[in-house]
Structure 1
Amino acid sequence: MAHYTLAVPVRYDDNGTEQTAYRRVGAVFENTKRDTGETCLTVKLDFPVGVTELLAFQPNIQDVAE
């Protein structure tokens, strides 16, 4: 089962340069239905999120070890 880190992009100003940081808000799990073999995604949020954009990244090595 594959999983991805779900993040929210946060833009901020760093000495006149716009930067983007990514804050983890949950995880996305890729599942396969046993009877049909169809792939579906499950989104699990760490807390309620009120945003207009979410991004999913492959996890870092340390995230996999947890």
Structure 2
Amino acid sequence: MTRYTLNVPVKYDDNGTEKTSFRRVGAVFENQRRDSDETFLSIKLDFPVGATELVAFPAKAGDDSDVTE
């Protein structure tokens, strides 16, 4: 099962330069249906999110303590 961290991009100003940081809001799990081997994604949020854009990144090694299941 492949896992991604789910993040919200947050834009901010750093001495006149616009930068983006990413705040974790959950996890995305890639799963396979047993009957058809079809791939599907399951999204688990850490808390209710009021965002218009979410970004998923591959999970980093040792990031298991933050997994939302």
Q: Is TM > 0.5 for Structure 1 vs Structure 2?
A: yes
Matches within 5 A, 1:1-66: 1-64=1-64, 66=65
* Residue identity in the other structure for 1:54: L
TM-score normalised by the chain length of structure 2: 0.90
- Once superposed, which parts of structure 1, at least 4 consecutive aligned residues long, lie more than 3 Å away? none
Post-superposition shift, 1:32? Answer: 0.3
Give the aligned length: 65
**Gaps spanning 5+ residues in structure 1: where?**
none
Q: Percent identity?
A: 65
Write the distance in 2 (CA, Å) between the matches of 1:60 and 1:36: 29
Deviations 1:1-59 (A, max 9, x none): 00100000000001111110000000000010001111100000000000110000001
TM-score, scaled relative to structure 1: 0.94
Give the unaligned 5+ runs of structure 2: none
